[in-house]
Amino acid sequence: MKQLLNWFRRRGLEGGLDRELQYHFDRRVADFVASGLTEPEARRQATLELGGPAQVREEVRDVWLTQWLRDFAYDLRFSLRSFQRSPSFTATALLSLALGIGATTAIYSLVDQVLLHALPVREPERLVLVDWKGDQVANGFGSYNLMSYPICMDLQQQDRVFEGVLCRAATTVNLSTGGDYKPAAAEIVSGSYFTVLGVGASLGRVLGNDDDRAFGADPVVVLAYDFWRTQLASDPNVVGRKVLVNQHPMTVAGVAAAEFRGIDVGEVPSLWIPASMSAKAIPGFGQLLDRRTRWMQVLGRLRPDMTLARAQTGLEPWFRAMRDEDTRRAGFPTITAERRQRYFASTLELTPAPQGHSSLRRRLSQPLWVLLAATAVLLGLACLNVAGLFLARGSARGREISTRLALGASRGRIGRQLLADSMLLALAGGALGAALAPLAIRGLIAFLPRDAAPNALEASIDWRLLSFAFLTSVAAGVLSGFAPALHAGRSSLMSSLRERGDSAFGGVRLRKAIVTLQIAFTLVLVIGAALFVRTLTELMAKGPGFATSSLISFGIDPRRSGYSQENTGRLIRRIHDEVRNSPSTVTSGVARFQLLTGGSWNNPMTILANGRIATDRDVNENSITPGFLATLGARIVAGRDFDERDSRPEGEARPEGQAGYRSAIVNESFVKRYLAGRNVLGTLICEGSGPDAKPNIEIVGVVSDFSYRGIREESEQVFYPMFEGRGSGGNFYVRVRGTSESAAQTIRSIIRGADPALPVGYFRTLDEQVNRALNTERMLAALSGSFGIVALLLSLVGLYGVMAFVVTKRTREIGIRLALGATRTSALWLVLRDALMMITAGTALALPSVWALGRLIEAQLFGVKPTDAITIAGASLTLAAVALGAALIPAYRASKVNPTDALRFE
């Protein structure tokens, strides 16, 4: 190690050496001169004596460095040769390490890409997310950390804190670059977006503040580099061309820098649209300048000298004044005193956002850390396994090592040799692992959902990943070589030379400790796997609450193709009529919002039943056609399903200024939470919880519970009839006859017949949709399950190895025991007792850590507690049974020892 250090500070060492030699030389010359020689003669004499400074320097350098390197190269060559001699040992060890390092590298790659990687923008470390903590008294749509566009504009004035502020919202538009319309992911951004990030154009120009001046005045877009390359074949004349966004022509201003893929790693946009054009990007959206509509994420770039804490206090006066002013603004809703208090108690929170903003990160960060921890345990297990193998080989090589010691090799030298062995093995394993990692990463990425917006995740190996794999390999090498090296350094020369096969029990103790640790690690992984697998099976058993077989869904959004509200309703009715009457359809229904996507339409509500009840949390809402509930197979528990009575006939306008619904159906959870024991049918409800809410919608039915946002959730839901109030959406649910493929074909031709230019947003079976909704759980269960199995295998090999070793070492002892009248069963028991002790000790080590780690994964579980006794007992028993099975083979061999042979062995 010291020599390695020397390499880094050799300039300093060289300087010192020169001074030292110069001093010697000068003194010598002075002495010679004093004794009567002439100066030149004295110099010649001194040089002669010293043997030339260059040569001395060379020799000293040797001392510092090359000796060690030569030794190391020798060690490596020696290791290589010894590995060639024992290919099966090498293959086993190599595979264990490659598996461990490959898995860790693959998971780390995702952790890095999703959680850690900074955006490829100018000084990303100065970016912060600005978030409103508290009640904004605003309607929201979008994912998380939402604020209004005017607030973003206000924040841009805070130039003592920020160098610049941007806001953005992700959406999907129907895009045509000349041919068919296709759904494309878009980012609606403030004009400051590219300037604040410091991202330039690779062609033409990016958006600037001039592109975001007046509402609706700036029909320009910037294309993403990848979109331009793949969809437009890198057309060099694209700047100035017109593209159609939801049927509105917009001019391409430029193509963004190649490496820039938006600020959300989970949703890569194909194009950027200025916020001033938001009404075109989101059909029917006119609330850009409304302070009570939150839909954008706000990111700021701090001034260079600004700290997070000072920025936060610096914004406080403006934030207070802004809220005061807001309450006096026209359009600020009438709210309760309590809600007002909550509004004023809000704070503005700044968090560092060098990685941008991503809801994928929010969803995956916990599962990914859990998986990284699991792979770390797995890698540790692999290292222990290799350490055990080395020890086994070490005892086989005992003679060789003793001979080398006897011939004068230092213990340090032998230890280093063994360390070189493991290091070489680990680096080779690491290289293999890194080569396999892209495959694993690709598999992992396949677990993630993919909609119109692709994610930016790649299965490529970059230098960050390579250095991670390298460091991991070095750590693995040290870890797996440490115990054997230490052991070699300690074992007594005399005893090992004298050894005949019954001493050297020090090695056994070390190996038992290693196996005990392995069992502990394995148990942690197996229990983790059992918990995640149970979570998945519980969720699958629970299901969405309706039968998914032969149920398909598809979505259209005519509003994005330029249809007005009325025409949208008309088109959906028309398509629905045709789908319903198609021979491949059993039943069908349409919903405004899609099921099982994680999102929903939700609001607090007010219920009029023996006085007003305001719901204590948001109720999930949807509007549906008659037949929708029946198509899903949901039961009507009380009252009735919607029918023609509930929808206004085509063409009849809804009453001005009202939501316009007259009837509603609620689910059982809603009844249980708010109306238990009351007469539900006929009760009046309405959206909103303020004093201005007027309950005027009558509950006409109660339906059984089924999932809306996701499988896990149990929520209160309210359904309104479609084509009545605001907004109709085109999410069709069709129970089909025959295969879903042939039905899909029929349906596609119906849509084409209705409007050939109308793109289909998605088309999938409900089985598929359920799978997508469970993909995080599936990833956790699949990965932790395979980790558990690999861990089991590794520790089995370890345990078997040690027990076989013990039996070989104790053959003579067992022989004597048998000769003295011990029974075969007692010989069996002799060996099994050892194994049992290791298993018990390992379990005792693992259980407290399971208890501690359980809290970390609690949020990921469903239907099972991290301390679930049955799971833990089951996993422990499985491990114990399998481990005992592995020990049984050597134990059986021990019981079959022939006393005569065993004694003749001596």
Please report, as ranges, the residues that interact with another protein according to CB under 8 A.
2-3, 16-17, 19-21, 23-24, 26-28, 49-52, 55-56, 59-60, 62-64
Structure tokens at 817: 């025991």
Structure tokens at 186: 């878009």
CA distances (Å), 177 to each of 187, 226, 236, 249, in order?
17, 15, 14, 10
Q: What are phi and psi of 87, to 5 degrees?
A: -65, -35
Q: What are phi and psi of 190, to 5 degrees?
A: -70, 160
Structure tokens at 363: 């969803």
CB of 105 within 8 A of CB of 50?
no
Compare residues 64 and 260 and give the one whose CB is closer to another protein.
64
* Shortest distance in whole angstroms from residue 477 CB to another protein: 24
Q: Measuring CA to CA, which residue among 90, 243, 96 is closest to residue 181?
A: 243
Compare residues 62 and 325 and give the one whose CB is closer to another protein.
62
Compare residues 28 and 292 and give the one whose CB is closer to another protein.
28
Compare residues 27 and 855 and give the one whose CB is closer to another protein.
27
Residue 95 corresponds to which amino acid?
Answer: L
* Shortest distance in whole angstroms from residue 27 CB to another protein: 5
Q: How far apart are CA 488 and CA 416, in angstroms?
A: 10
* Shortest distance in whole angstroms from residue 3 CB to another protein: 8
CB of 213 within 8 A of CB of 276?
yes
Structure tokens at 101: 């390092």
Identify the residue whose tokens are 């409304």: 290
Give every CB contact of residue 551 below 8 A, 6+ residues apart in sequence. Answer: 631, 632, 733, 734, 735, 736, 765, 766, 767
Give every CB contact of residue 856 below 8 A, 6+ residues apart in sequence. Answer: 370
CB of 874 within 8 A of CB of 530?
yes
* Shortest distance in whole angstroms from residue 305 CB to another protein: 42
* Shortest distance in whole angstroms from residue 450 CB to another protein: 59
Could you say which DSSP state residue 113 is in?
I
Structure tokens at 232: 């437009």
Residue 677 corresponds to which amino acid?
Answer: G
Cα 896 to chain centroid distance, Å, stands at: 52
CB of 743 within 8 A of CB of 558?
no
Q: How far apart are CA 415 and CA 419, in angstroms?
A: 6
Q: How far apart are CA 51 and CA 45, in angstroms?
A: 10
* Shortest distance in whole angstroms from residue 60 CB to another protein: 5
Give every CB contact of residue 147 below 8 A, 6+ residues apart in sequence. Answer: 130, 131, 132, 136, 167, 294, 296, 297, 298
Could you say which DSSP state residue 296 is in?
B
CB of 849 within 8 A of CB of 855?
no
* Shortest distance in whole angstroms from residue 461 CB to another protein: 39
Q: Measuring CA to CA, which residue among 485, 379, 373, 375 is closest to residue 430?
A: 379
Compare residues 64 and 319 and give the one whose CB is closer to another protein.
64
Output the CA torsion sign for 308, 314, 318, 323: positive
Cα 68 to chain centroid distance, Å, stands at: 43
Q: How far apart are CA 329 and CA 338, in angstroms?
A: 19
Helix/strand/coil for 720: strand
Compare residues 26 and 159 and give the one whose CB is closer to another protein.
26
* Shortest distance in whole angstroms from residue 39 CB to another protein: 17
Q: How far apart are CA 622 and CA 722, in angstroms?
A: 9
CB of 113 within 8 A of CB of 289?
no
Residue 335 corresponds to which amino acid?
Answer: I
Q: How far apart are CA 411 and CA 417, in angstroms?
A: 10
Q: How far apart are CA 248 and CA 562, in angstroms?
A: 8
Compare residues 50 and 836 and give the one whose CB is closer to another protein.
50
Q: How far apart are CA 478 and CA 445, in angstroms?
A: 31
CA distances (Å), 307 to each of 12, 116, 311, 411, 861, in order?
39, 21, 6, 54, 38
Q: How many CB atoms lie within 10 A of CB 36?
A: 8
State the Cα torsion 268-272-277-279 to the nearest 10°. Answer: -10
* Shortest distance in whole angstroms from residue 49 CB to another protein: 5
Compare residues 30 and 547 and give the one whose CB is closer to another protein.
30
Q: How far apart are CA 823 and CA 729, in angstroms?
A: 80
